Amino acid sequence: MPELPEVETVVGQLATSLPGLEIRGVAVTRPDLLRESPRRFRSALLGARFLGVGRRGKKIVLSLSGEQLLVVSLGMTGQLLFLPSTAEGEAPPFRAVSFTLEPGAVLHYADARRFGRLQRFTPREWESESARLGPEPLDRALTAGSFHRILALSRSPVRSWLLDQRRVAGIGNIYAAEALFKARIHPARPASSLTPGEARQLLTAIRDVLREAIRAKGTTLRDYRTAAGESGGFSPSLRVYGKEGNPCVACNTPVKRIVFGNRSAFFCPHCQAEDQ
DNA sequence: AGTGTATCCTGCAGGC
DNA sequence: TGCCTGCAGGATACAC
């Protein structure tokens, strides 16, 4: 579910509510989401105070007092829900970890498929972890020229390239499909075959799609919810993702689905020609 | 280096 | 109605 726009939405909401709050209780009902024992996890976080909320690629980065970071990966179905003390909210289904906070507020991590992770890092550990991820697509430091240069390093299909978090961080299957459609590039084209002009178009398309999706609070196909429990509003704006057989919005050619890299790729065979 | 395959899990839609 | 299959926003490990 959660690609950059969904994570950015959650992060934006948490950033207005979490900082300053202290963790008073930690309940782990699904230990397999952690990379350490629940006992250790709990004792490290009890009494810590949230300082800041950030994002790196698809990961939510919660900085805490005591020089530690709690990094949350949502996997496919993860949800990080904040219930303020005023909302007499019920615990969500598939609750995996819950943090009781200062004034009676609660932060729940829920995850039906449990592909997500909650991991603690020291700032130093996180720095080297973060360095393994590619550049942020919305960062102005990533220029069209540098984007073309890193594309040129790999002959793998550009869709697979976009999904590889070591190349660029934050893009998943939905926004890869939408950006490639917007840039009129076939998903199976080798990354290194893109011309400088195509690389520029692709970077622009990625940024347009991501920013528009952030404005809509992300895409909810089924499970994704914002930290406030809302669904994202971008689904009606999807042009090709999940649209196999539908007429292309630009030319009416039926949208095609092919599978490679173990994932479905959706594209318009006319607008996104294989060659050139 | 790159690709296909399997794995971790569960829920749901669609076909029969 | 009910069972079975396929598919799903992610990520990683493995063999070839």
Q: Please write the tens of the pLDDT for every residue from A219-242.
A: 999 999 999 999 999 999 999 999
- Cβ neighbors of A111 (< 8 A, separation 6 or more) are A30, A33, A74, A75, A77, A78, A79, A94, A96
Check if the beta carbon of residue A4 is closer than 8 Å to that of residue A170: yes
The pLDDT of residue A1 is above 80? no
Active-site residue, A6 included: no
The pLDDT value given to residue A250:
97
User: A180-207: per-residue pLDDT in tens?
Assistant: 999 999 999 999 999 999 999 999 999 9
* Mean pLDDT estimate for chain A: 96
Distance A130 CA to C13 C1' (A): 21
Of A248, A214, A239, the C-alpha closest to A12 is A214
Q: Point out the catalytic residue in the list A3, A8, A178, A198.
A: A3
Q: What is the Cα–Cα distance from A38 to A72, expressed in whole angstroms?
A: 15
What is the pLDDT averaged over residues A81-95? 85
pLDDT range class, residue A85, cuts 50, 70, 90: confident
What is the pLDDT averaged over residues A252-257? 96
Token pair listed for A72: 């949350």
Token pair listed for A253: 């050619």
Check if the beta carbon of residue A184 is closer than 8 Å to that of residue A272: yes
Dihedral sign, Cα of residue A200, residue A203, residue A209, residue A215: negative
- Cβ neighbors of A97 (< 8 A, separation 6 or more) are A26, A27, A28, A29, A30, A33, A34, A108, A109, A118
pTM comes to: 0.97
Helix axis angle, A173-182 to A196-215, nearest 10°? 120
Which bases of chain B are contacted by protein, using any atom under 7 A from a CB? 1-12
For strand C, list residues 233-262 of chain A whose Cβ lies within 7 Å of it: 262
What is the pLDDT averaged over residues A44-70? 98
The pLDDT value given to residue A61:
98
What is the pLDDT averaged over residues A100-106? 91
What is the pLDDT averaged over residues A118-127? 98
Q: What is the Cα–Cα distance from A1 to A174, expressed in whole angstroms?
A: 9
Which bases of chain C are contacted by protein, using any atom under 7 A from a CB? 7-12
pLDDT range class, residue A91, cuts 50, 70, 90: confident
Distance A222 CA to B4 C1' (A): 28
Token pair listed for A159: 């869709």
Nucleotide nearest to A223 (CA to C1'): C9
- Percentage above 70 pLDDT, chain A: 98
Residues A89-124 as b/e (b if ≥16 CB within 10 A, e otherwise) read eeebebbbbbbebeeebbbbbbbbebebbbbbbeee
For strand C, list residues 150-209 of chain A whose Cβ lies within 7 Å of it: 163, 165, 172-174
Helix axis angle, A4-17 to A196-215, nearest 10°? 40
Nucleotide nearest to A113 (CA to C1'): B9
Distance A114 CA to B11 C1' (A): 12
The pLDDT of residue A89 is above 90? no
The pLDDT of residue A215 is above 60? yes
Token pair listed for A188: 């199976």
3-state secondary structure of A208: helix
Check if the beta carbon of residue A205 is closer than 8 Å to that of residue A182: yes
Nearest residue to C10, CA vs C1'?
Answer: A75
